[in-house]
A and B are shown apart, each in its own frame.
Chain A
Amino acid sequence: GAVVSQHPSWVICKSGTSVKIECRSLDFQATTMFWYRQFPKQSLMLMATSNEGSKATYEQGVEKDKFLINHASLTLSTLTVTSAHPEDSSFYICSAAVRRGRFNEQFFGPGTRLTVL
């Protein structure tokens, strides 16, 4: 149980195009979903927190107009990288959280590698 999928697993796009990444919790409903970004050999940096039916909360320094997050249901969140540029190339990882009392148990997706040419 507690499986999170991401689609696509990798994508290559031209500079200036937009890319949509889906994050799905396959066998549970997630109260909250998180989007992280990971550069090579570095840690995960939180980009935004999203709750179903409400606007995402972005971390400082993350452009909300560039990284559009839609949390359409309790099992699906999407991240759209608009007008992608080479510096947006990275590994994007989502996690889906289930509230257990005061604790948010997070389950991570396998990640999406984005390469912008």
Chain B
Amino acid sequence: AQSVTQLDSQVPVFEEAPVELRCNYSSSVSVYLFWYVQYPNQGLQLLLKYLSGSTLVKGINGFEAEFNKSQTSFHLRKPSVHISDTAEYFCAVSVSQAGTALIFGKGTTLSVSS
């Protein structure tokens, strides 16, 4: 079975500071990895995904993530955050098989203040 661990439940940062949201996964088979953002009372929006190829993945809103197979990690980074980045961020994994659902981590609340 697969599992996802988001190491930080809350990350407070100041505007324009860099941020890293950590995600580790566990799986005995190949996986696809995702980061989603959720604003209050809304659904999920895909930030970026890793399917194969380059381990550095660039997404929307200036976010990027790096897949590290040896460390089973997929940390999300942004060099300079904005107030509008305040939201809940979820790391998710699915096995490399069509028809399978996503397994989500518990989420990290990113709070950006001025």
Q: What does DSSP make chain B's interface, helix, strand, loop or mixed?
A: loop
Q: Is B98 in contact with A103, judged by CB distance below 8 angstroms?
A: yes
Known: A42-B106, A43-B106, A44-B90. A104 touches B43 (CB 8 A): no
Contact across chains for A99 and B90 when beta carbons are under 8 A apart = no
Q: Which of B94, B98, B102, B107 contacts A42 (CB 8 A)?
A: B107
Q: Is A108 among interface residues, defined by CB-CB distance under 8 A?
A: yes
Query: In the complex, which range does the number of interface residues on chain B fall in?
Result: 20 to 34
Find out whether the CB atom of A106 lies under 8 angstroms from the CB atom of B107.
no
Flag if B32 contacts A111 (CB, 8 Å): no
Report chain A residues within 8 Å CB of B96. Answer: 102-103
A7 within 8 A of B: no
Name the B residues within 8 Å of A101 (CB-CB). Answer: 98
Interface residue A49 (Cβ < 8 Å from any Cβ of B): yes
Contacting residue for B42 out of A4, A95, A104, A111, CB 8 A? A111
Pairs across A and B, CB under 8 Å, 11 listed: A34-B101, A42-B106, A43-B105, A49-B99, A51-B99, A93-B43, A99-B99, A104-B98, A106-B102, A110-B42, A111-B42
